Amino acid sequence: MEKIAVFGTGYVGLVTGACFVNAGHNVTCVDIDETKIERLKKGECPIVEKDLPVRIEKGVQSGNLSFTTNASLAVKNCKVIFIAVGTPTKKGSEEADLSAVFAVARTIQENADSSKIVIQKSTVPVGTGDEVEEILNSQIKSGEDRFFHVVVSNPEFLKEGRAIHDFEYPDRVVIGTNDKEAQRVMRKIYVPFMRTSDRMIFMSRPSAELTKVVANTMLAMRISAMNAITPLAEKFGADVTEVRRGIGTDSRIGTAFLFPGGATFGGSCFPKDVRALIAIMEESGMDAGIFKEVMEINHEQRMRFIGKILNYFEKGDITGKKIAVWGLSFKPGTDDVREAASFDVIRTILEKGGTVSVFDEHAKEIFRNEFGNVKGIEYCDDQYVTTKDADALVILTDAMEFRLLDLERLKKAMNKLVIFDGKNLHDPEEMSKEGAHYICMGRPFFNPKS
Ligand code: UGA
């Protein structure tokens, strides 16, 4: 068992803490937000993440998971300290705001009474590990090595909504450090998750930092490549979902992350990481053209989808039309709405004089907080209630409840059966047979049979 402190009780910190406790370690989660810590102490889970609440409850009951705002005590008690605080994009710039990471580093530096292994889990630009190590060791006088703190880069590859599973059954655990003692401790921490095979990959710290952004950029590139194909498929009457199956069976390509659609990628990771890679390349005087294109395609495709919605109506005039919108988060199973397609879609409809009636199982309240109770938007608790007297339905995530439609109910509720599917969930020909005017991306259009 290792005594571990985790700074930051967001998506990453909580999942990390809860999973380590489940594997037999002792974890103290630290945060500056007192209200959040109080809730966690009571066993309440502040975020929507499958299986996390039970892990937290079990951990607290076992006595091996505790929550505190007392950073200095946590630093003194634990040799191993994870930094998992937020690194949002700075307002009005493309840069990541690293102030929370540096603040934790200073807290460790001020309170440590022995050498620590500090593990950087927050997603940060390449080279941040050097800066953190500098802060941590800033008081060391030359020749004195008593409290030398080592910084390890250990990026996370968790998918929101599947984070617990991804943590406990990882494809790989990337550990960036050349320090032998840190390598030994990291091995000990992660060994419970390596029962079937050793998937720990040791490398240098900059390599690990780069691995994180490159992994997300590669996945985003696959999606953008497929999105870029959709206008061509539409032009020649091809179906991009057939192409996806055709290429995905090639074992060199594989089927994952090849789903195109109008509700293009969002979330806190892909957009941020691709931008971070572009920024660091440009700062270094390199050409990031290929990666810039990934972001541009993502934006253009989203706009093309919105254009299809507007253009359906005569002269693109959506004034007075009611549009039902399903799916507000950037993907199902989470309440995270960061960079979600819903913002662009809903904002445009409202700006153009339409109204929206929206549904999302988890993200309604968070979206309402972000977007506001502005005129023209109605928040519903039932997906079908949104469609009452609606002129069109827009689907923005591939949530399970959107994959099969109660068409009879939709026909009764809506003014006309018009569906814009941003996730290509349904068969265009089947939908036309049902009398639906069904529009998606990169697939043939069939006139509705009335
Ligand atoms: C992503 C990565 O998948 C994780 O490995 C990584 O650790 C994480 O970012 C992170 O950096 O923290 P996540 O952002 O939770 O995880 O979500 P994904 O499931 O990867 O989806 C990202 C976006 O791409 C979503 O908006 C999703 O709808 C979209 N997507 C995904 C597509 O449009 N098409 C696809 O084929 C797949």
Q: Tell me the pLDDT band of 143, cut-offs 50, 70 and 90.
A: low
Q: CA 204, CA 208: separation in Å to the nearest integer?
A: 6
Over residues 350-375, the mean pLDDT reads 95
Query: Interior CA angle at 74 toward 71 and 80, to 5°?
Result: 120
CA 309 – ligand 1 centroid, Å = 25
CA 217 – ligand 1 centroid, Å = 10
CA 33 – ligand 1 centroid, Å = 28
Atom of ligand 1 nearest to the CA of 155: 7
Q: Tell me the pLDDT band of 228, cut-offs 50, 70 and 90.
A: very high
pLDDT at position 145 is 55
pLDDT at position 43 is 84
Over residues 228-236, the mean pLDDT reads 98
pLDDT at position 144 is 57
Query: Interior CA angle at 177 toward 176 and 183, to 5°?
Result: 105
Over residues 384-398, the mean pLDDT reads 98
Min mean pLDDT across 139-143, 291-295, 309-313, 404-408 is at 139-143
Question: pLDDT digits over 167-220, tens only?
Answer: 999 999 999 999 999 999 999 999 999 999 999 999 999 999 999 999 999 999
pLDDT at position 306 is 98
Q: CA 5, CA 101: separation in Å to the nearest integer?
A: 14
| Atom 24 of ligand 1, nearest CA residue | 265
Q: Walk me through the domains of the chain, giving residue ranges and CATH numbers.
A: 3-203 (3.40.50.720), 218-439 (3.40.50.720)
- Is residue 107 pLDDT above 80, yes or no? yes
pLDDT at position 147 is 78
Of the chain, the percentage scoring pLDDT greater than 70 comes to 98
Catalytic residue check, 269 = yes
| Atom 10 of ligand 1, nearest CA residue | 269
- Is residue 401 pLDDT above 60, yes or no? yes
pTM of the entire predicted model: 0.91
Over residues 69-86, the mean pLDDT reads 96
Q: Does residue 339's CB lie within 6 angstroms of at least one atom of ligand 1?
A: no
Mutate which of 52, 159, 345 for ligand 1? The one with the most ligand atoms within 8 Å of its CB, which is 159
At 420, give phi and psi (nearest 5°). Answer: -110, 115
Q: Check residues 386 and 124 and name the one with the higher pLDDT.
A: 386
Q: CA 185, CA 163: separation in Å to the nearest integer?
A: 23
pLDDT at position 139 is 72
CB-based burial label for 390 (10 Å; 0-12, 13-18, 19+): buried
CA 271 – ligand 1 centroid, Å = 10
pLDDT at position 77 is 95
CB-based burial label for 397 (10 Å; 0-12, 13-18, 19+): buried
Query: Closest Cα partner for 242 from 379, 434, 420, 442?
Result: 442
Report the chain's terminal Cα–Cα distance, integer Å: 67
Q: Check residues 251 and 373 and name the one with the higher pLDDT.
A: 251
Question: Which residue bears the tokens 């507007």?
Answer: 310
Question: pLDDT digits over 260-302, tens only?
Answer: 999 999 998 899 899 989 988 999 999 999 999 999 999 999 9
- Is residue 450 pLDDT above 80, yes or no? no
Q: CA 255, CA 222: separation in Å to the nearest integer?
A: 10
pLDDT at position 361 is 95
Q: Does residue 158's CB lie within 6 angstroms of at least one atom of ligand 1?
A: yes
pLDDT at position 206 is 95
Could you say which of 19, 29, 78, 269 is catalytic?
269
pLDDT at position 141 is 56
Min mean pLDDT across 89-93, 203-207, 232-236 is at 89-93
